[in-house]
């Protein structure tokens, strides 16, 4: 199932791309209010129907998001993913401290 069929879903997927860390597993749920995304260790919507795991790939210069069936993972794969997540979190935190507020504003203005 391809995700991102409407503006609200595309906005959620944009936020997902900026919130997720390498190694994390995210799940997609359909709720009465639309699509909802959550990391596998997050809070799941009580009124949601699980669509599957979110998989992202790049086709050309576009992100393509799909919901694929859940799959079993070995304990070793889960440890490897947890280590990748922690490395990515540490790298982002370190980069954020080097990226001054003035530089962020300038970059935002340059992108308009």
Looking at the structure of the chain, the number of domains it has is 2
Q: Do residues 43 and 18 touch, judged by C-beta distance below 8 A? A: no
What does the pLDDT read at residue 88? 93
63 with 37, same domain: the answer is yes
Kindly state the helix (H) or strand (E) to which residue 50 belongs, with its residue range.
Answer: strand 49-59
Per-residue pLDDT, averaged over 87-94, amounts to: 92
16 with 5, same domain: the answer is yes
Q: How many whole angstroms separate alpha carbon 18 and alpha carbon 109?
A: 19
| Whether the model pTM is above 0.75 | yes
What does the pLDDT read at residue 37? 94
Which residue, chain included where needed, has tokens 């997720």?
Answer: 20
> What domain range includes position 24?
1-71
43 with 87, same domain: the answer is no
pLDDT digits (tens, 9 = 90+) for 47-78: 999 999 999 998 998 889 999 999 999 999 99
Q: How many whole angstroms separate alpha carbon 87 and alpha carbon 91?
A: 6
Question: What are the tokens at 55?
Answer: 């998989």
67 with 79, same domain: the answer is no
3 with 51, same domain: the answer is yes
67 with 85, same domain: the answer is no
11 with 50, same domain: the answer is yes
Per-residue pLDDT, averaged over 85-97, amounts to: 91
């Amino acid at each position: 199932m391809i995700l991102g069929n409407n503006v609200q879903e595309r906005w959620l997927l944009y936020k997902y791309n900026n919130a997720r860390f390498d190694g994390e597993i995210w799940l997609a749920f359909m709720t009465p209010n639309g699509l909802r995304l959550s990391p596998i260790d997050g809070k799941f919507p009580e009124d949601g129907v699980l669509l599957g795991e979110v998989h992202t790939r790049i086709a050309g210069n576009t992100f393509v998001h799909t919901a694929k069936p859940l799959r079993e993972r070995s304990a070793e794969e889960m440890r490897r993913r947890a280590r990748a997540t922690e490395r990515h979190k540490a790298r982002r935190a370190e980069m954020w401290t080097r990226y001054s507020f003035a530089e962020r504003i300038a970059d935002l203005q340059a992108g308009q």
